[in-house]
Chain A
Amino acid sequence: MPCAFEIETIRASQTGSASPELLRHQQGCPHCGAALQIARIFHQDAEYLSEHAAPPPAAQVWAAAGRRRRAIALERATILLRILKVSGLVYAAVFIVWAANALANLRGGFVPPVLDGKALNASLEGAVLAALCVGIGLCYTLRHDRPPTR
Chain B
Amino acid sequence: MTLADTIANYAGSATREVSGIDEDAFRALYDRTARPLWAYLVRASGSRDLADDLLQETYCRFLSRYGGRSALPAMDEAATRSYLFRIATNLLHDRWRHSGNAVEVDIEAVEAAEASTAEPASVAHIDVRRVMDSLKPRQRQILWLAYVEGMNHAEIAAITGLGALSIRLLLFRARRQAATLLRPEENHKG
| Chain B interfacial positions (CB closer than 8 Å to A) | 1-4, 7-8, 10-12, 14-15, 19, 23, 26-27, 30-31, 34-39, 42-43, 48, 52, 55-56, 59-60, 63-64, 67-68, 117, 119, 121-122, 124-125, 127-129, 143-144, 146-148, 150, 152-153, 168-169, 171-172, 175-176, 178-179, 182, 186
Contacts and interface: CB of A to CB of B under 8 A. Distances in A.
Interface stretch (A19-27, A48-56, A104-112, A125-133): A48-56
Interface stretch (A34-42, A85-93, A116-124): A34-42
Contact of B12 (A6, A31, A66): A66
A86 B37 CA distance: 44
A121 B184 CA distance: 91
Given A46-B36, A73-B12, A41 B1 contact: no
Interface of A: 1-2, 6-7, 10-11, 14, 31, 34-35, 37-46, 48-50, 52-56, 58-62, 64-66, 68-70, 72-74, 76-78, 81, 140-145
Given A48-B121, A53-B35, A58 B26 contact: yes
Main secondary structure of the interface of B (DSSP, over half): helix
Q: Is the interface of A mostly helix, strand, loop or mixed?
A: helix
B3 A140 contact: yes
A55 B63 contact: no
Contacts of B31: 58
A73 B38 contact: no
Contact of B26 (A39, A44, A62, A70): A62
